[in-house]
Structure 1
Amino acid sequence: MSFAAQTLTGSKPEQYAQLAGQARALLAGETDRIANAANLAALVYHSLPDLNWTGFYFYDGAELVVGPFQGLPACVRIALDKGVCGAAARTRQTQRVEDVEAFPGHIACDAASRSELVVPLVKDGRLVGVFDLDSPRVGRFDEADQQGLEAIAQIYVDALT
């Protein structure tokens, strides 16, 4: 089965609603976390503008380990006390960073990244990992992006068994 990302139209909330519909269709009936993460990373990366990295880090009980992604090679392991991904995992709260150079302890896996949004993935009270998006543009992510990407992350979590 092939699946092509469709062009998003309308306001930003309308675009995220369309993207969420595509994500639900893409993940429908599939529970494998790796397959779903791979497809979701590709869908989001190719649907949204100004991204240079989109992907998943999975919690192995001690640290975050890179999972499926789109973009340049990434840091393989991230401690929970390091970087934006670690902060999202540790606090279980979405981290939206306007300028990563101003974030204490930012991990520069790709020197071109200037802003970042990381959504924690929590299933039944258990940390699964994080959904991480980087942009080469300062201030790329706003409240509408955060809400839209949190909804996309929840679709992923809901597909987990």
Structure 2
Amino acid sequence: MAEDLSILKEASKEEKYISIIPQIKALIDGEQDLIANLANISAALKEQFNWFWVGFYLIKNDELVLGPFQGPVACTRIKKGKGVCGSSWEQEKTLVVPNVDEFPGHIACASASKSEIVLPVYIDGKIIGVLDVDSEYLSHFDEVDDRYLNEIIRLINA
């Protein structure tokens, strides 16, 4: 298990992902506890990218419940189909939202959040929650984030 992260400050987004993915793999390799792994993934991503908020919501009793995260306090429970997270869960697909104020039914857990990407998390082919990443900047996320964050999510199921 890695005890330290090598954080790239002056690099492209893609270079940062290419650097952090093997480090995340080392952090979670051999650890069976899901919560511990999600906590370390959240921390590693927050440290590398300094996003406003990054974390997981887990499905419990037919709603998303706040899981491990890094950033300011967040909404604790989200219904299926509500907001970006609930919509990603319901549709079982990644949602990239350039401007959260333009997303119908957006749940404003923090007014500083301006853009968002939410990706479903699967274990053994079953959706168990979502990875939610918020930025204080408009149009912050794109296909590069989608591709590499999905690669990180697949590590959870490895």
For normalisation by structure 1, the TM-score amounts to 0.91
CA contact (8 A) 2:57 2:129 kept: yes
CA contact (8 A) 2:123 2:156 kept: no
Note the C-alpha offset of 1:121. Answer: 0.5
Cα distance in 2 for partners of 1:104, 1:10 equals 34
The one-letter code sitting in structure 2 at the alignment partner of 1:138 is: L
Shift of 1:153: 1.4
Q: CA deviation at 1:139?
A: 0.6
Displacement of 1:2:
6.6
In the alignment, what sits opposite 1:67?
A: 67
CA RMSD of aligned residues (A): 1.5
Q: Residues 22-37 of structure 1: matches in 2 within 5 Å?
A: 22-37=23-38
Superposition deviation, residue 4 in structure 1: 2.4
Higher relative contact order (CA 8 A, sep 6+): 1
Q: Which runs of 5+ in 2 are unaligned?
A: none
Distance in 1 between the 2:48 and 2:156 partners?
17
Equivalence map 1:66-145=2 (5 Å): 66-145=66-145
Partners of 2:126 and 2:41 in 1: CA distance: 21
Shift of 1:15: 2.2
Alpha-carbon distance in structure 1 between the residues aligned to 2:71 and 2:17: 21
Q: Distance in 2 between matches of 1:35 and 1:114?
A: 28
- Structure 1, unaligned runs of 5 or more: none
- After TM superposition, give the deviation of residue 17 of structure 1 in Å: 1.8
Q: Deviations over 1:79-131 (max 9, x none)?
A: 01100001111111011100000000111101100000111001223111001
Question: What is the count of residue pairs matched by the alignment?
Answer: 157
The alpha carbon displacement at 1:5 in A equals: 2.2
Identity %: 43
- Provide the rounded CA distance (Å) in 1 between the counterparts of 2:47 and 2:103: 27
